[in-house]
């Protein structure tokens, strides 16, 4: 694989830039172990860009290349700050891919742009410009989805002056409907709503019956009404831990299930957990627990996604597992 020595990602919207940066890093890491390949030195007002240049000049260890990431380097646009980076780009290390993140609306200094071009690097802009429609079309095409014209227009209108909302919506749509799906306005609309709060069992009920659109709509309402994502995760953990405890337990009815789960009073929650455990089967239960564990790690920083996006993708995938088991 031919790797560019430097890639600069620029744009005013933090979410769009973050999504593109994550995709670029993943592409440059490839099949290698990211923990060995990726280096993201801390940049502060004292050291400026020196740690970034030092990291870029470091040879790989146990790998054939390194990906060195410099975030928010627009802070160091003065000529003196850029001097060491410009010197490096004049003769970059062939085993390093340098990923530079440039935020805000300010222009990239000509000296840096010329140095990137001269090194054989790439510059990627995440700003949609005035043609938001084309921006949406391009982003949708990358997901493998296609939108009917009315759905595309509705999505453009909904974005308005906030294109940073697009990556999250498209990630959930792709996770929900799968590659190659053609979506109309009725398919897209449930993911754009903004309504009040709902009780937590509305979410778990929607997931259990495999209703992906209802699950996403309910999650969105919960989060937008002020419920913290970790509260939602706690609800999901409790729900699926009950299901997991009943998987293979050999219980024959809701009273036995309630005893296994340590429930007192109404046995209705135990009845629901037992029914869902039987529907999912051991494979479905394991997959659901795996998805929860994966999202736990994502929320702790293993993936550079907004928390809400990770939650939406999780809920869509859990509902898809349930739908496949029915």
pLDDT, tens only, 136-173 = 888 888 888 888 888 888 888 777 656 777 888 888 88
Cα 291 to the center of its chain, rounded Å: 14
pLDDT of the residue at 193:
52
pLDDT bin (cut points 50, 70, 90) of residue 246 is: very high
Q: Which residue has the tokens 């030092």?
A: 54
Asked if 97 and 5 touch (Cβ cutoff 8 Å), the reply is yes
Q: How far apart are CA 221 and CA 206, in angstroms?
A: 13
Q: For residue range 252-310, what is the model confidence (pLDDT) as tens digits?
A: 888 899 899 887 666 788 899 999 999 999 999 999 999 999 998 888 777 778 888 88
Q: What is the mean pLDDT of residues 227-245?
A: 89
Q: How far apart are CA 191 and CA 109, in angstroms?
A: 40
Q: How far apart are CA 326 and CA 322, in angstroms?
A: 7
Q: How far apart are CA 125 and CA 114, in angstroms?
A: 16
Burial class (CB in 10 A: 0-12, 13-18, 19+), 182: exposed
Q: What is the DSSP letter of 58?
A: S
CA distances from 191 to 214, 274, 311 (A): 9, 30, 13
pLDDT of the residue at 5:
94
Cα 86 to the center of its chain, rounded Å: 32
CA distances from 325 to 179, 230, 275, 278, 285 (A): 21, 27, 12, 10, 10
In the sheet with 6-11, reading across from the earlier edge strand, the strands are 38-39, 66-70, 96-103, 6-11, 122-125
pLDDT of the residue at 160:
65
- Could you tell me which of 199, 201, 198, 215 has the C-alpha nearest to residue 269? 201
Helices (H) and strands (E) in the chain, counts: 15, 7
pLDDT of the residue at 197:
47
Q: What is the mean pLDDT of residues 101-128?
A: 89
pLDDT of the residue at 175:
80
pLDDT of the residue at 275:
92
pLDDT of the residue at 1:
62
Is the pLDDT confidence value at 239 over 80?
A: yes
CA angle 297, 19, 112 (to 5 degrees): 125
Q: For residue range 52-110, what is the model confidence (pLDDT) as tens digits?
A: 999 999 999 889 999 999 999 999 988 899 999 999 999 999 999 999 999 887 789 99
Q: For residue range 176-212, what is the model confidence (pLDDT) as tens digits?
A: 888 788 888 888 877 775 433 467 888 999 999 999 9
| Higher per-residue pLDDT: 197 or 13 | 13
Which domains does the chain possess? 6-125 (3.40.50.300), 128-192 (1.10.8), 196-326 (1.20.272.10)
Strands 182-183 and 66-70: unpaired
- Could you tell me which of 293, 313, 324 has the C-alpha nearest to residue 215? 313
Asked if 136 and 166 touch (Cβ cutoff 8 Å), the reply is yes
Report pTM: 0.50
Q: How far apart are CA 271 and CA 253, in angstroms?
A: 7
- Would you call 321 helix, strand, or coil by DSSP? helix
pLDDT bin (cut points 50, 70, 90) of residue 231 is: confident
φ, ψ of residue 68 to 5 degrees: the values are -105, 125
pLDDT of the residue at 287:
95
| Higher per-residue pLDDT: 258 or 116 | 116
Cα 57 to the center of its chain, rounded Å: 30
Q: What is the DSSP letter of 108?
A: P
């Amino acid at each position: 694989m031919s790797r560019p020595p430097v890639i600069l990602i620029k744009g005013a919207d933090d979410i769009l830039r973050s999504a593109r940066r994550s995709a670029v890093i993943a592409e440059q890491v490839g099949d290698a172990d990211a923990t060995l390949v990726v280096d993201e030195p801390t940049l502060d007002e004292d050291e400026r860009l020196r740690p970034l240049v030092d990291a870029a000049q470091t040879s790989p260890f146990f790998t054939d290349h390194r990906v060195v990431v410099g975030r928010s380097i627009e802070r160091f646009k003065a000529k003196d700050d850029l001097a060491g980076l410009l010197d490096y780009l004049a003769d970059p290390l062939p085993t390093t891919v340098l990923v530079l993140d440039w935020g805000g609306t300010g222009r990239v200094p000509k000296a840096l742009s010329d140095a990137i071009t001269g090194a054989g690097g790439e510059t990627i802009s995440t700003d949609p410009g005035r043609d938001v429609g084309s921006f949406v079309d391009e982003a949708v095409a990358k997901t493998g989805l296609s939108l009917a014209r009315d759905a595309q227009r509705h999505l453009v209108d909904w974005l308005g002056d906030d294109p940073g909302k697009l990556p999250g919506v498209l990630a959930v749509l792709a996770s929900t409907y799968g590659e190659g799906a053609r979506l109309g306005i009725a398919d897209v609309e449930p993911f754009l709503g903004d309504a009040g709060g709902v009780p937590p069992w509305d979410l778990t009920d929607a997931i259990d019956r495999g209703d992906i659109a209802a699950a996403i709509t309910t999650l969105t309402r919960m989060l937008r009404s002020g419920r913290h994502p970790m509260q939602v995760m706690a609800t999901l953990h409790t729900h699926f831990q009950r299901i997991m405890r009943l998987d293979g337990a050999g219980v024959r009815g809701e009273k036995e299930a309630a005893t296994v789960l340590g429930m007192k009073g109404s046995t209705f929650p135990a009845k629901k957990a037992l029914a869902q455990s039987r529907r999912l089967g051991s494979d479905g239960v394991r997959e659901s627990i795996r998805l929860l564990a994966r999202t736990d790690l994502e929320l702790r920083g293993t993936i550079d996604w907004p928390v809400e996006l990770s939650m939406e993708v999780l809920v869509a995938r859990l509902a898809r597992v349930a739908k496949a088991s029915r």
